[in-house]
Structure 1
Amino acid sequence: MSITAIADPTKPGSLAHRARTRRWAELLRCFPNLADMRVLDLGGTPHAWRLSPVRPAHVVTVNLDPSTAHQTEPDITPLVADACTLLTSGHLAGERFDLAYSNSLMEHVGGHRHRQQFAETVHSCADHHWIQTPYRYFPVEPHWLFPGMQWLPFRARVAVSQHWPYGHISSANRPQATQDVEEVELLSVTEMRSYFPQSHIWFERFAGLPKSLVARK
């Protein structure tokens, strides 16, 4: 089996697909009434919810990708916006949700200040949340599927992004590789707890090792 097949969450039987299934089971254990909830998905897409085992009563997805605006369904409302500036942009002024949800976005928002803004959005928009992000100290970097890449010097990470043929990010040239590397910053447990001090941090594990972190409340 190829590395990409192992890491493809849409491929039944792959390691990534099994991990996603376990994550959904834990989400439903924590929020058994998800089907009745109004959910704010920060960084998600309508397409992802079409594939989900449970559909909430209504979902608002927030994504910078303008193509998501055309993926409308009666119970899914796509919003093209920045998840970190929702509180100041007026996009969701006065709106409340049962659950704020996010999957693998927090490591992409761009530094401490934006992560703080992201966390403020989560706390302000919903009483409950489920915020997942890959764990910095898992031995394989999850975007490039390269062992220990996150601990390499910046120049070496750019070289990996430009030449490593596997993973979910493929950089066509050095400027693109530089940008791709700049846009990923994995988080530690301490950082996650600082943004969500009242939350329980759940460790999603692979082979006994923490693979990703979920702040849930």
Structure 2
Amino acid sequence: MGVKNLFAISENKNSLGSKFRQKRFRYFLKLLSSVESDPIRILDVGGKESFWVLNQFHQRKDVQITLLNLEASDLKYDNFSSVRGDATDLSEYAENSFDLVFSNSVIEHLHSFENQIKMAKECQRVGIKHFIQTPNRYFFMEPHYLLPFFQFLPKKLQYFILTKTKVSRLKKWNASFARQYIDEIRLMSKSEMSKLFPGSILYREKFLWMSKSFTAHNLESPQSKGEPGS
């Protein structure tokens, strides 16, 4: 495994981010058994078909997955559909339209806490169940840039580091892409996630005895009872 692969984006199966996502998904699979619908209707907010294919969901005829993103995309498999939409406004869907709303590392990309509140409310309105994950603001390593405590630096300094050095993911960032990321990312704390998803289990993904990320969900299964970090 090369160093560049190790520090690549989460879509790279050899990256650290991908390893954590796969561990989290195994936890999700244990919980999914509590959903008894056939087929299970899943709305993935901000997701990609490739993520589910990696986990063999293209072979599951008992699951129908709707991928909602800012732009629709072409798909390969019949049990997937792609729609254009806004995570903060799912008014095209009625209450409880889906058995489960799933979202992985999306809610921190909404610019403001007001928008994060809107997304949380919409996900809980249209989904009977939900599984919403986000990085922990107070984890020492900022996951988007892979730099320690980067989230606490002034934005001007963040921009300089990203565009003038190669310390973030071993590359210089494109100027417009760096500005977009800096403007849109707002990491969330445990207390904020608890506030946005009242009554949900807050699963804490641990690394070096610290909470790397939080997942708010209301799924139940025998395996989830007493789950460490819940």
Deviation for aligned residue 1:4 = 4.2
1:60, 1:45 → 2: CA distance?
10
What amino acid is the match of 1:80? Answer: R
In structure 2, what is the equivalent of residue 61 of structure 1?
A: 67
Distance 1:74 1:168, change over 3 A: farther
Which deviates the most, 76-85 or 33-42?
A: 33-42
1:212, 1:168 → 2: CA distance?
23
1:169, 1:193 → 2: CA distance?
35
2:3, 2:217 → 1: CA distance?
33
Q: Is residue 143–residue 168 contact of structure 1 (8 Å, CA) maintained in 2?
A: no
Matched, 1:51 2:46: no
Q: Is residue 69–residue 84 contact of structure 2 (8 Å, CA) maintained in 1?
A: yes
Distance 1:122 1:8, change over 3 A: same
Matched, 1:180 2:186: no
In structure 2, what is the equivalent of residue 103 of structure 1?
A: 104
Residues 1-150 of structure 1: pairs in structure 2 closer than 5 A: 1-2=2-3, 4-9=5-10, 14-32=15-33, 36-54=39-57, 55=60, 57-66=63-72, 68=73, 70-71=74-75, 73-87=77-91, 90=92, 92-93=93-94, 96-150=97-151
Deviation for aligned residue 1:13 = 5.9
Which portions of structure 1, spanning 4 or more consecutive aligned residues, are displaced by more than 6 angstroms? none
Q: Is residue 41–residue 59 contact of structure 1 (8 Å, CA) maintained in 2?
A: yes
Q: Is residue 159–residue 177 contact of structure 1 (8 Å, CA) maintained in 2?
A: no
Q: Is residue 61–residue 77 contact of structure 1 (8 Å, CA) maintained in 2?
A: yes
Which structure has the higher relative contact order (CA within 8 Å, separation 6+)? 2
2:169, 2:71 → 1: CA distance?
21
Q: Secondary structure at the match of 1:47?
A: helix
What amino acid is the match of 2:89? Answer: T
Unaligned runs of 5+ in 2: 219-230
Alpha-carbon RMSD = 2.5
Per-residue CA distance 1:13-57 (angstroms, 9 max, x = gap): 653333222211111122225684210101112222222244561
In structure 1, what is the equivalent of residue 227 of structure 2?
A: none
TM-score, normalised to structure 1, is 0.86
Distance 1:113 1:170, change over 3 A: farther
Distance 1:167 1:13, change over 3 A: closer
Identity of counterpart residues, as a percentage?
A: 28
- The count of corresponding residues between Structure 1 and Structure 2 is 211
TM-score, normalised to structure 2, is 0.81
Distance 1:65 1:159, change over 3 A: farther
Per-residue CA distance 1:137-189 (angstroms, 9 max, x = gap): 1111111111110011121111122134333996322x543332011111000
